[in-house]
Structure 1
């Protein structure tokens, strides 16, 4: 015989004849008839709430008090593994207050047999399913009262507006039963138990059984024992113990989508025809059936709903409820019954389920943002993060008990969100997106309640995962304003009054047959560009004033995006008339190398080892307030030049060797750009040291009569095609040449033979001329030669000459 007791619940043990009487702290007692009979040594063990097992020590002197103490049990304990530990609450001092709450069980109602009405604890009833009655104080909205019988959860009590509550106990077996109540609030916090309420159930009428007992044991059958119990009120009765058949409800199956699962006792289901599964300890008799009872907590009706199908060999059974008519809490029990009389004493455990077929309210949650690499991504945007974090809020506040938030990607469930401590905000990190690969994904969330009912999904949040599968890259070179008086290129971050700006750019490589260039505005795809060769164009249509940021991608037929372009932003302001495009024009004249042995001007397309080249140029007029000269390298603004009058300078800072193309523009206060300068390209190569030859002009020759030959430095000539001659210090390298300058303007390239060179100029008018020469290579030039000045004078002599006489000065 197993009793769920702790040692702390026992006040003393006494011997009455051969019977052992165990006195409990709640005033009741347990009688073990014949415990000391037969002279055999008897062992009484207690399994504590901590799992330890203790043996009672008994005195052998026949005294009325026979318990002398406890010792740890050292025998075989394998049999105890299947026994539940006792609960301390049965006989603990009442603890029925909890933050202003109070709960108690006051009485039970017997509505069976000849003795009916309300009765206090410690009495006996022949009602197998009495109603418990109690009182609760301080109950708040959302609070519920849970009822426990012999340590097992039975169901929820019904409460009226005055704090009175009642609960119909599921049909149970003969014997002493202890009931307790506790409060659980909306957050799932539980109060202490009420004081234990003990009653004795005896479904056999004394008027029927006592004559049999008086008639002698033989009439009851061989091998049956007589049990005797007394309560704290002094009443006493003997009866035949119940059958040894043990019936158990093990599980309840929910097979209604979307959540097909086993419903734990106390759990919820959306299946109105749940299937019960259970076991028997032995085969049923020939005239026995296994009846299933269902107690409706809202009505208090305990209805026999059918008989189970038995597997006699496996000693298992199943029963499918023919149909629950409404949502609510139901308690099932099963018992072996005589098919003729309906009598039974082998009642199973109570199994409580809640039918809930109502879906959670739709639209109760919102996805507020998705973050990739710790950067928020707008819906319709893109990321390279394969583990993005999804965040949102519950619009209706915190979840109800048993509810959770389910996250879906493209309609498939990928996990459950974590609710923050405030009960409103939630997060979820998608750890499996990388396995899904690049492409477009739609995230939604929905509420699921304890029964598996689902709310409608939230609005979709679109995210595109980028991969490096596409090799082409895209550049936005310019955004053009084609409206109003101020037209032209809009600098990145600049203003425009054109609500239909045109984007222009380039791509590297060729597009595949199904590849396209797609344009994103503020992270959302807005269209597909027109592509011609390796250039593209797209005209947007903006609905309202504001700031806009554009990026471009190559996209293939599967939706995979390549590497995004750099962002290009503009500000649309149709309420302000932009300042007209500046009238000033800018010229980029020189780029100077100031590093190493070979310094000076770097020719267009030339090579330099100076990673900080200096750009210089001129303006057509002085700048006005708000204007500036901005420098672009490869189409990207890299800085603002220093301006003095109508000249400007800018020093760049290059990070690596390569080809670079520069332009300069005048930008006004509104961000409008003027006409750009001509492009000026250079090549940075820090691995090459350039040492070009030096050059000298040695003579300038006149070959026009009457005076021919070397004109001489500073001399005058009438030859309009003078010939320059000179030397170089070393032979020219491949790609080098001797370049001739007249009055600082390049006029041609000399003919070189070994270390000498010649060049014939063509002059158009009389004037003074200064010549220089220099050796130039691809992107570099040597030191400038000496200067050589001449004067061209082709005018006629105006004086006339006459021979007047010839004089002979030699004698004869």
Structure 2
């Protein structure tokens, strides 16, 4: 039941609740609002009143009477019919109005939530004049979980009044599974659990946030976490929020919800897992793309019908501005017999004052520690630079020489390696775009027409780059985890040019993805980079041992200053990160 008081309670005062002239407890008071959950009502008419009691025991004036008539009460029974596909409850014994005309509504939606939380699939819920039918795979679940032989479920009753009404959650004692299985197709008696009475809807578990962590990828390509202390600042847009619970949540009904500035977060919360043993008191969730500004994270355990646990203390952080670039993640180069054209990708940027970065490129060819040739070129307003030389002769004469391209920022006076390649590896790429690889040939040249090529990555993040424009790379039947697979050990594909297309399925992400590769969220991850006219065709795959599911867009993430759309599979625990701007279609 809910109500209000005219003035706030003073220190030591309590609000006592009376039923039929007898004190039955004290209400929970927040400001001027109060609530109380009565338990174990018997049949018949009952009168409720409330009164403030001072610290010295003096009693104030009683409130006006609030009268209800209880038709069920502890131990009252009603009918249950179970089939292999349905649980049917006849709740028509319940009165639908109090003696003074207050409406009473009855439902079992909280019971549905409990079934779903336990891991069952509820296909439908219908209420036909008080005969409530729940279509659920309860038989299959019970066979797979013999350690859970009972199906006790909550029934919710709401009684209207001017103060928001009274809510009762009575636990229904359903016969244990072995008994119920022998009673299929027969109406049987179901009772309220005698010692539960009107079960309090408030979850007992209290949540606490223990830390907020930046999630980022280091220079070696590994996902890392860095603590942002309470009141501290962050320049990363992706955070992992960690916390604890005062006790394990109820597997039937409880959900942990984390809020940023009062709005629920979407993501993966590992405090509740239908496959776990429900004993965990630690949790975490990933918050993607937190906007710049001050933020407060809070958490609590919730149930349906406005039944919530206590709020955690707020965890405040300050998010610095981070503007994701829509340029290609990496630079690329096009070599001809007489020139080397370099597109600098996100190295070519606009400064905070609106000016364009001033960059000078240097291409140096070395062999056995000696310099063979050095070329200089300025980056133009389009972000490109061209080195004119007899590249065909240089490659033929020095196949083992190393080509290093370095970018010099004329404003900051800093240098950055753009590309390292052995000259001989570029011989077959004359006339084709090649993705620049500052780590030293981490990219793999892939000829889409050669289906017999074996592309096996090594340690770290390995990349396939699509050469030239208007290319198609179809991973169908190519990926795997064995040495006999055509493509394995690849974690990233860069479509790089224009009008290139990638065909990829869920099984490919399973085969190629690695857990926490680009951010720490517990999923197998695979990344695709490209430009606005590149295309990804994403499809489903039936995989033995994995239930059928669908790809769903789960928001966006900013990694290394580049914005990605994140697509998550509903059953496979994998995600595909596609650079924003790249077109994507799902089949």
TM range (shorter): under 0.3
Task: Report the structure number with the largest CA radius of gyration.
Answer: 1
| Higher-helix-fraction structure | 2
Higher relative contact order (CA 8 A, sep 6+): 2
TM-score using structure 1 length = 0.19
